[in-house]
Structure 1
């Protein structure tokens, strides 16, 4: 019987001890715990492609009480503390939204089959922080506000792990009430409205109180968002309630000057909502009392009901937002923080017209169809009604070619809805003396192969590059881009670096 030599035995013991140490360390890393003002949280450890850096992830953290019962149509209330360690490893439910719209959206992304539960109890946020961070790290914080027309979306559709790991910063994705529960307003003290925006303020307040426990610096918070999330960022810049809660801002494909996002007569929409749900419309108090008692299922309108009220817009309530957004901008009455504003070069290329059921996208459009659609879509255009005819003539010209007409119509819509408001907002902020940067994203992603060839950089196409989708290990995430080319990986690294440098330095 032979025995190994001393050196061989010693090597084996060292190797075994090293493996045990790694396993022990792995168990420790995979179950990160953080103590917040409200209680302890247990998260999870996540790897990221292309780097040996890792991220600690904490999902479903409550930043406010569930906005149910008497708290429906009320400002968010501070979260309740908890005693035992709270599990923070599962996605929270998304806020109330039409399941059919979600499924229609998922059809556009057939490889992404993540299903989210829907609940009125939805005021949660997710945090992604570098695994090595601690309370002394004081890393920049980037807070993502999702888009979806103030009607749909959720925090967990966006994976912040790659952006956090590659750029050594804390990423937070937040949720806010949507649709009726998020923006219903009677225009008076019974239901002022803007509940979803107030939720965003509450999330930012929670971040100020707690983000240091995750290695974040409450004195270096950048808010960023896309579409309705970009609008939200722009509105938070204008709101006195959000002043001091963030220090830099990025609006991607959406600003507060998008005309369809605000209503001057919320009481009209309130009565339509009350009628659909079978509530008394004789007074604001009666409507609110009745609607608060309705089950959450009745707070989600189906496609037929959406024909009567397509969107529940925000309102000028005199509290959260004190005047018309353009008045505030012109009067330099806003937080003069460093600001990035941008658009994609085909904002109305495919996604939005597809969701709006615009006919003739693939084969081309006739002028009569375009004129009819412009009549229907005029409220979306950020131009005065008297100029619509002039603009239409300018864009469409004298051609009768259906393909050329389609292309010109899509350009008109993209410019009127997104480009013009973005440029105006940039100019107002520049006049205030604050640093402003403007970009145009021009790359058609390789993942857009399901779209017709004429589509360029469509609405939302930049998001995967901002979040480092090529490096996300959860390939079911909407931000994941598993088939990204090497050039796209490089582009994503570049954009992440731009956004992170801005978050660090302004």
Structure 2
């Protein structure tokens, strides 16, 4: 019964203190609480005709642009930008997308991020019920998937405005974080996972600011999908004593029990862009001066499989650890409820396919998933 109780306790946090939003044309014309003061500025959001009972703030900065000497480095807090509109998405972080025929590329473009890309990408988006409540509502922080090489805060299928419009019981936050070589460089001189540090900075920013949007900083959870799920799990091990959030949800992913401590890929890219034959520190400094498109092209040059990312989290023993089993045995993990799950046939979307085929492809089960789900089912029963 333990899994059942955990699931119910976490889900109850989302639905507590629900209230019905009254339709009112006058209030619709002048929505309350659209201008919010934060540590990074005072931002005015919007309400649109598609989801009129949802307040939206798009493109709110949470980190200083990671440019120049800040490239590959831990994120810094955003400065205060003063008053500004938050009514349009900002560019997503640089992607390293594949190009093979698949359901994603051919028939489901809403699953992809096709927006402008930039290194100046540390922004988040907030969707909240139209009417601010006397008692603040729970907050779901969505961590997008994409194999640590693609993803962002506003692929069409991830935009939660319809969900918030329908429920009126919670706030949803999405955000951009650094990806592939920019987020997980694996440099010997900077063996850090900047993308995971971006996640922590988002959580800290929300702790300090979400109350102004009507959210409860004491009822925030992380919800990740695929590699986003991996990031959620890594986060739980990296912050066992001060997780800030109150629970975790993960789908379609996991994290290995052990992780590599080094990778040759950063050095290989450095050789392509003219930063070879240098000390590790000099190589890093040189790579910080290379134009981002040149780095992107160099990654493509050395990558033999464009649908498989070269840059992933490595064990820095700060955000990712060499042996998670050992940390678990020592209790070095956030002791918070977790809900996890998979779809039985989800690998099929990555395979080549014929859009004109008349028969469905055979199911492709995830190895070992039956053992996992059966064990949970037995415990619940």
Shared topology, TM-score over 0.5?
A: yes
Q: What residue is the counterpart of 1:35 in the other structure?
A: 37
Instruction: For residue 318 of structure 1, report the CA deviation from its aligned partner.
Output: 1.8
Q: 1:117 to 1:103 in 2, by over 3 A?
A: farther
1:61-460 aligned within 5 A: 61-84=60-83, 86-98=84-96, 101=99, 105-109=104-108, 115-134=114-133, 136-157=134-155, 158-167=158-167, 168-187=169-188, 190-240=189-239, 243-257=242-256, 262-266=259-263, 268-301=264-297, 303-307=300-304, 310-349=309-348, 351-354=349-352, 407=362, 410-411=364-365, 414-415=366-367, 419=369, 423=372
Where 1:128 maps in the other structure, the secondary structure is: strand
Structure 1 distance, partners of 2:240, 2:199, is 10
Q: 1:311 to 1:112 in 2, by over 3 A?
A: closer
Instruction: For residue 27 of structure 1, report the CA deviation from its aligned partner.
Output: 3.2
Contact 1:152 1:178 in 2 (8 A): yes
Instruction: For residue 241 of structure 1, report the CA deviation from its aligned partner.
Output: 7.6
Deviation string for 1:347-374 (max 9, x for gaps)? 212x2234xxx99xx799xxxxxxxxxx
Instruction: For residue 98 of structure 1, report the CA deviation from its aligned partner.
Output: 3.4
Instruction: For residue 339 of structure 1, report the CA deviation from its aligned partner.
Output: 0.4
Structure 2 distance, partners of 1:31, 1:215, is 9
Q: What residue is the counterpart of 1:399 in the other structure?
A: none
Structure 2 distance, partners of 1:222, 1:206, is 14
RMSD: 3.4
Where 1:225 maps in the other structure, the secondary structure is: strand
Contact 1:34 1:42 in 2 (8 A): yes
Structure 2 distance, partners of 1:87, 1:143, is 22
Instruction: For residue 320 of structure 1, report the CA deviation from its aligned partner.
Output: 2.0
Report which of the two structures shows the higher radius of gyration computed on alpha carbons: 1
- Which structure has the higher relative contact order (CA within 8 Å, separation 6+)? 2
Instruction: For residue 25 of structure 1, report the CA deviation from its aligned partner.
Output: 3.3
Contact 2:234 2:255 in 1 (8 A): yes
TM-score in terms of structure 1 length: 0.62
| Residue 22 of structure 2 corresponds to residue 26 of structure 1 | no
Contact 1:237 1:243 in 2 (8 A): no
Where 1:348 maps in the other structure, the secondary structure is: helix
Q: What residue is the counterpart of 1:45 in the other structure?
A: 47
Where 2:218 maps in the other structure, the secondary structure is: strand
Contact 2:112 2:151 in 1 (8 A): no
Contact 1:186 1:192 in 2 (8 A): yes
Where 1:271 maps in the other structure, the secondary structure is: helix
Where 1:300 maps in the other structure, the secondary structure is: helix
Where 1:314 maps in the other structure, the secondary structure is: coil
Q: 1:47 to 1:39 in 2, by over 3 A?
A: same
Unaligned runs of 5+ in 2: 1-23
Give the paired residue count. 347
Instruction: For residue 156 of structure 1, report the CA deviation from its aligned partner.
Output: 1.0
Contact 2:113 2:151 in 1 (8 A): no
Where 1:29 maps in the other structure, the secondary structure is: coil
* Higher alpha-carbon deviation: 157-166 or 190-199: 157-166
Higher helix share: 1
Structure 1 distance, partners of 2:96, 2:322, is 31
* Higher alpha-carbon deviation: 148-157 or 99-108: 99-108
Instruction: For residue 225 of structure 1, report the CA deviation from its aligned partner.
Output: 1.1
Q: What residue is the counterpart of 1:18 in the other structure?
A: none
Structure 2 distance, partners of 1:236, 1:111, is 28
Unaligned runs of 5+ in 1: 1-21, 365-402, 431-436, 439-506
Where 1:321 maps in the other structure, the secondary structure is: coil
Structure 2 distance, partners of 1:165, 1:289, is 47
TM-score in terms of structure 2 length: 0.81
Deviation string for 1:317-355 (max 9, x for gaps)? 122234423332343320011100100011212x2234x
